[in-house]
Chain A
Amino acid sequence: MKRILAIVFILIIGFWMAKALDQVPFGEDRMLVGKYYLEHVKEETGAVNAVTAVVVNYRGFDTLGEVTVLFIASTGVAALLWRKKRERTAKTEGSVVLTTGARLLLPFIMLFGAYIFIHGHLTPGGGFPGGATIATAFLFLYLAFTVYEIDHKIFEPLEGLAGVGYVTVGLIGLAIGGYFLFDWIWQTWGIGRENIGRLFSAGFIPIIYTLIGIKVGTELTGIVDNMVKEPEEGGQ
């Protein structure tokens, strides 16, 4: 009975939403603001990748917010799973093939992750996918080895430092250009104006994406680290 009611209810909501969606001209020319982005990306931000330019430059405030959301998630997990003494409780070591494979693949994954976030303004990707790729490398180590643990003395301050760096870049923009998150490298200094489409261009996008990459990488690794550890017997 409950199930039938739920199905009926969901069907009503679905119909209601479909009716509204029917009225929205998706796919037609509704590019009010979008057109502006496409036409002005190159001279205003220097990025070839329009998505990155929107994400970091035009709507950089949202990205700062998203970075914060991830930061809260990692802090929240750490706060909720906090115990005085916690250790890995994995029982079986991975097979030789797995451990050797992990060792061999590690530098490749790291390198590729770094490649993704450094080339954010040129190729698809950016800070979030790059950071997630790097975190995958650490996840690999956690899964393959029973004793592996990251160094918290480095990881937590690094995470904070990357965030502080992002806000500082924004504040320098406020001091130089007069606006928070102003792209001072591109708009005031004009560095890289002649080589759009190459690595050293697009103002502060590569810098911010590197910071985001580091931040996301350390945060996701921290979440994994917190979740695979259990309190020791007798520990609080």
Chain B
Amino acid sequence: MSQYASLLIALPLFSAFFIPILKRISKNAVMPFLALVTLIQTGIAAWVFSEVYSTGKPIIIMTGGFKPPVGINLYIGHFAALFVLVIAVASFLMAIFSVKSVSVEPKDKYAMLFLLLMLGATGMISTGDLFNLFVFMEITAISAYALTAYNKTGEASEAALKYIVLGGVGSSFFLVGIALIYGSLGTLNMAHIAQLANLINPIAAKVGLALLIFGLAVEAEQFPLNAWAPDAYQEAPHPVTAMFSAFVVKASLYAIGRVVYILSAAEGWSSILRLLIILGTLTVIVGEMSALRQSNVKRMFAYSSIAQVGLIAVGLALGTASGVSASVFHMFNHAIVKALMFLAVGYVAVELGGAEMDKFEGLGKRMPVTAFAITIGAISIIGIPLFNIFWSKMQLILAALNARYTWVVALILGASLVEATYYIRLIHTIWFKGEGEKVKENSVLALVMLLLVALIMLIGIYPEPFWNVMQKAGSDIFNVAQYVKNVPLMGVSP
């Protein structure tokens, strides 16, 4: 029965391949079809989520019926079940938004790439095989390149070109890293690698892991390799920007966490954590400093998103269970908040023709619901109590204190201060500046935004049940011994 969870991969693939045939039958059916498929995907993801959390056991999908490490297995544990659901819900909401906001032709190609972006992220989160991770990363990355350039303006092409060059370099690094690890251990299965990790040569492990991290850092927007991100966020179609921020980045961050922790038994492993913590810290500082001076709101949110991602990386690199859980919580919260904010900003840009700061003057009077959504999102990101991100930042601070990284506390608080500066400036512009006539807001989108706002406040007021889920998801990454035990490895040993 549980093998049917492989529909999570099969359904979006089937639908994406089906769209060229559907287009011949009826061109207008493409966008509703996209919404329908993402809705079904949400249903399957919800089923998988309840299955995993009610039994407490991960779902292991063995493709082809071969046991790992001979065949490829998907590992849908607590983390994957949670984030597959997040991905599906975010995709569904953005598919609804796409109906309204994407008017550039060819829409059928857009729908295919959209579905495959969702598929790629789902696969990255659920795979249990190192090379399969690479394949899904390529699916995600290449559909992201095409979607970035989708608007066909000069700026969009430039952004996509930057992205494609950096992404290509990153993927090659990743592949070399896989070759090193395969060369020294002779297996690609993550559980098998974790089992044999104490046999690996320390230098090969260090260089291999560093290459894997550098490869994933392009997608995960870590500092020296994230130059593409602000441009791509600004120029991509609005729903796609929200998807980048809500789950494409998260999938890569999770992959970094997974590959780092499966090799935790290797010698000299702590130096890799140090590398990751340096990358994350630089990302936070550079992201926040750049966000301060932006005049385009979408670009400002992009930098803010980069900074948050840096915090998540720092949490992952603390090397403790509570640190990993805290960053999973932050991933979850940030996915909700940024999906809401990019949705709202995109909607403003569609209605008023652009996302520059002056378009936001008097927004509180012109589009009250959207303005309210942006305000709640901004307040939440700063980390004010009673909103969700307060709790995840709090947990990050506690985890840092426990791991004796006192300066990380200063980093988080400093970042929040800078965030407060530019978000309060934005809120001020929205509510206390300018005049304007009322624009009629789309009721479906308003409903979606209010739902997300309600979710943010719900987590803010009742964090306990969510925090319990996050701790389970975090231990899925951190507790490697349990991970190895869960995967039914057949007896292939040196």
Interface residues in chain A, defined as those with a beta carbon under 8 Å from any beta carbon in chain B = 16-17, 19-21, 23-26, 30-37, 44, 57-62, 64-66, 68-69, 71-73, 75-76, 78-80, 82, 84, 153, 156-157, 159-164, 166-168, 170-171, 173-174, 177-183, 187
Chain A: which residue is nearest B73 at the CB level?
A61
Q: Contact partner of B135 among A23, A69, A73, CB < 8 A?
A: A69
Among A59, A66, A73, A174, find the residue whose CB has the most chain B CB atoms closer than 10 A.
A59
In the complex with contacts A19-B203, A167-B10, A167-B14, A73-B65 CB distance below 8 A = no
B139 lies within 8 A of A33 (CB): no
Question: Inside 8 A of B184's CB, which chain A residues have their CB?
Answer: 23-25, 30
CA–CA, A30 and B184, complex, Å: 8
B3 lies within 8 A of A65 (CB): no
Q: Within 8 Å of chain A (Cβ to Cβ): is B132?
A: yes
Among A66, A72, A157, A167, find the residue whose CB has the most chain B CB atoms closer than 10 A.
A72
Given contacts A61-B132, A71-B112, 13 further A-B contacts (CB under 8 A): A23-B201, A30-B186, A32-B187, A33-B189, A59-B72, A66-B135, A72-B139, A72-B142, A72-B146, A79-B146, A153-B24, A159-B20, A180-B3
Q: How far in angstroms is the closest Cβ of chain A from B383?
A: 38
Q: How far in angstroms is the closest Cβ of chain A from B54?
A: 22
Contacting residues of chain B (1-38) with chain A, CB-CB under 8 angstroms: 3-4, 6, 9-10, 13-14, 16-21, 23-24
Q: Within 8 Å of chain A (Cβ to Cβ): is B207?
A: yes
A164 lies within 8 A of B135 (CB): no
B14 lies within 8 A of A80 (CB): no
A65 lies within 8 A of B132 (CB): yes
Q: How far in angstroms is the closest Cβ of chain A from B254?
A: 18
Q: How far in angstroms is the closest Cβ of chain B from A70?
A: 9
Question: Inside 8 A of A35's CB, which chain B residues have their CB?
Answer: 492
Q: Contact partner of A163 among B17, B62, B185, CB < 8 A?
A: B17
Question: Inside 8 A of A178's CB, which chain B residues have their CB?
Answer: 3, 65
CA–CA, A26 and B69, complex, Å: 20
Among A31, A33, A36, A60, find the residue whose CB has the most chain B CB atoms closer than 10 A.
A33
CA–CA, A220 and B222, complex, Å: 34
Binding stretch for chain A, among B103-111, B298-306, B322-330, B415-423: B103-111
A24 lies within 8 A of B10 (CB): no
Chain B: which residue is nearest A18 at the CB level?
B207
Chain B: which residue is nearest A62 at the CB level?
B135
A58 lies within 8 A of B66 (CB): yes
In the complex with contacts A20-B207, A32-B185, A73-B142, A37-B70 CB distance below 8 A = yes
A187 lies within 8 A of B65 (CB): yes
Q: Contact partner of A72 among B113, B131, B152, B494, CB < 8 A?
A: B113
Q: Contact partner of A24 among B106, B132, B183, CB < 8 A?
A: B183
In the complex with contacts A24-B183, A37-B70, A170-B10, A181-B109 CB distance below 8 A = no
Chain A: which residue is nearest B113 at the CB level?
A75
Q: Contact partner of B23 among A30, A60, A156, A163, CB < 8 A?
A: A156
Question: Inside 8 A of B18's CB, which chain A residues have their CB?
Answer: 160, 164
Question: Inside 8 A of A157's CB, which chain B residues have their CB?
Answer: 20-21, 24
CA–CA, A62 and B69, complex, Å: 14
Question: Inside 8 A of B135's CB, which chain A residues have their CB?
Answer: 61-62, 65-66, 69
Interface residues in chain B, defined as those with a beta carbon under 8 Å from any beta carbon in chain A = 3-4, 6, 9-10, 13-14, 16-21, 23-24, 61-66, 69-72, 105-106, 109-110, 112-113, 116, 119, 123, 129, 131-132, 135-136, 138-139, 142-143, 145-146, 149-150, 152, 176, 180, 183-189, 192, 201, 203-204, 206-208, 492-494
A76 lies within 8 A of B145 (CB): yes
Chain B: which residue is nearest A20 at the CB level?
B207
Q: How far in angstroms is the closest Cβ of chain B from A37?
A: 7
Question: Inside 8 A of A181's CB, which chain B residues have their CB?
Answer: 63-64
Question: Inside 8 A of A166's CB, which chain B residues have their CB?
Answer: 17
Chain A: which residue is nearest B493 at the CB level?
A32
A68 lies within 8 A of B139 (CB): yes
A180 lies within 8 A of B10 (CB): yes
CA–CA, A61 and B139, complex, Å: 13
CA–CA, A61 and B131, complex, Å: 10
Question: Inside 8 A of A179's CB, which chain B residues have their CB?
Answer: 3, 6, 61-65
Q: List 29 A-B contacts (CB under 8 A).
A: A17-B176, A20-B180, A23-B203, A24-B180, A24-B183, A30-B186, A32-B187, A32-B492, A33-B492, A44-B66, A59-B72, A60-B72, A61-B63, A65-B132, A68-B13, A68-B119, A75-B109, A76-B149, A79-B113, A82-B109, A163-B16, A163-B17, A164-B17, A164-B18, A167-B14, A170-B10, A174-B4, A180-B3, A183-B65
B186 lies within 8 A of A79 (CB): no
Q: Contact partner of B109 among A62, A79, A161, CB < 8 A?
A: A79
Among B16, B66, B69, B184, find the residue whose CB has the most chain A CB atoms closer than 10 A.
B66
Q: Contact partner of B183 among A25, A58, A60, A168, CB < 8 A?
A: A25
Question: Inside 8 A of B192's CB, which chain A residues have their CB?
Answer: 32-33
